[in-house]
Amino acid sequence: MDNKAFLLVTILLTGIIWGSLQKMYSVDPVFYWISPEWDAPLLGGLLAVAFSLKAKQQFAMLLLSVMAAEFMSALLMEASPSMSLGSFAWWDGLWIAFLAARLISMVIILSGTAAARFLPRGWKSKEGGTPE
């Protein structure tokens, strides 16, 4: 799959999940993990990490995903659909998601670096066989 197509699919997936979670909490904020305002951005950040560890791709993915989430949330509203693109809550959600994505990415990268540093180096010989 092309990199741009993959990015588009991940944006749509993350936006649909984010918007659906916002809609669910607007109807009944009972089943939340941390806070109804924080759960959707944290889940968006976690999904961004699942799809990419690069900061540029994560930011682009989250920026477009939060727009798609607002569209999805407005689409699911029956009475009075409204979108809050550019509001303080919208920017807060974007930055919470990006911060979560970068922190989780750093933990993954640092744990991989630490594991590579402490694992024995002789796991494979130069010929490709097993070490003796």
Domain count, the chain: 1
Instruction: Report how far residue 128's alpha carbon sits from residue 119's, in angstroms, rounded to the nearest whole number.
Output: 18
In a domain, 121, yes or no: no
Q: Inform me whether the pLDDT recorded for 43 exceeds 80.
A: yes
Residue 123 forms part of a structural domain: no
Question: Is residue 96, in this structure, part of any structural domain at all?
Answer: yes
Over range 116-120, report the average pLDDT: 76
Residue 98's domain comprises: 3-27+36-75+85-108
Cβ partners under 8 Å of residue 97, min gap 6? 41, 42, 44, 45, 48, 62, 65, 66
Point out the least confidently predicted range of 24-28, 53-57, 63-67, 112-116: 24-28
The answer to whether residue 60 is domain-embedded is: yes
Specify if 10 maps to a domain: yes
Assigned domain for 23 exists: yes
Please state the pTM of the whole predicted model: 0.74
φ/ψ bin of 71: left (φ > 0), alpha (ψ from -120 to 50), beta (otherwise): alpha
Confidence category of residue 108, pLDDT binned at 50, 70, 90: very high
